[in-house]
Amino acid sequence: MSDGQAAGRPRHVYFSPFRNSLVIREGFAMEKRAAGERDRREWAEGIRRRLGLVAEVHRCRAYADDEGGGWVWACLRPGCLGAGYSYRSQPAAFAEALAHARAFMPEPPEDEPLTELQWALYVAFSEDAERQREADEAALGARILAVTEQVNDAFAGILPDGLRFEWRADGE
């Protein structure tokens, strides 16, 4: 920075209305940047929470209430005022604390219900596939016969008497 002073001389702090306004503006800019950063973080956090990627963690503590008697639970999350008093037992207080913590767990996304159109398509495709399978099976019988005849014609006079080519379609 050049302030017009010779090197080696102690730099005095330079005040001016102009500089002050710069300082103030810089302060504002820093605040704005921090706010923007916070907004982005909160936005990302919100998205992740909606996608069920993060749970808001509400750790709780259940303890005996020495003054009021009974058991107490309190949420340890900063800013959360979740608490309950005068439970007769520790498990009762703990159950309430657990219910509080669970209330902030994201629900897994529900399966989308099958629409009528999807179902109609599924039925049509499976009926179609079934028809195709039946047609293929019916055609296979005729094809086996045709190939068998062809092979036997080709081997006529070559195979010993009484031997015949046969296609075993059962795969055994």
* Least gap, CB of 45 to Zn ion (angstroms): 16
Stretch that binds Zn ion, among 63-71, 75-83, 134-142, 158-166 (CB under 5 A): 75-83
Decide whether 49 or 77 has the Cβ nearer to Zn ion. Answer: 77
DSSP string, 3-66: -SPPTTSPPPP---HHHHHHHHHHHHHHHHHHHHHHHHHHHHHHHHHHTT-------EEEEE-T
Question: Is residue 97 close enough to count as binding Zn ion by CB under 5 A?
Answer: no
Closest CA to 114 of 127, 123, 105, 103: 123
Which residue's entry shows tokens 């080709």? 154
Stretch that binds Zn ion, among 23-31, 71-79, 121-129, 135-143 (CB under 5 A): 71-79
Question: Is residue 75 close enough to count as binding Zn ion by CB under 5 A?
Answer: yes
Closest CA to 62 of 32, 83, 78: 83
Q: What's the token pair of residue 113?
A: 């219900």
Which of 49, 54, 70, 77 binds Zn ion (CB under 5 A)? It is 77
Decide whether 72 or 75 has the Cβ nearer to Zn ion. Answer: 75
Question: Is residue 151 close enough to count as binding Zn ion by CB under 5 A?
Answer: no
Question: Is residue 80 close enough to count as binding Zn ion by CB under 5 A?
Answer: yes
* Least gap, CB of 101 to Zn ion (angstroms): 7
Q: What's the token pair of residue 38?
A: 């916070």
17 exposure class (CB count in 10 Å sphere: 0-12, 13-18, 19+): exposed
* Least gap, CB of 103 to Zn ion (angstroms): 8
Which of 62, 82, 87, 96 binds Zn ion (CB under 5 A)? It is 82
Interface contacts to Zn ion, rule CB under 5 A: 58, 75, 77, 80, 82
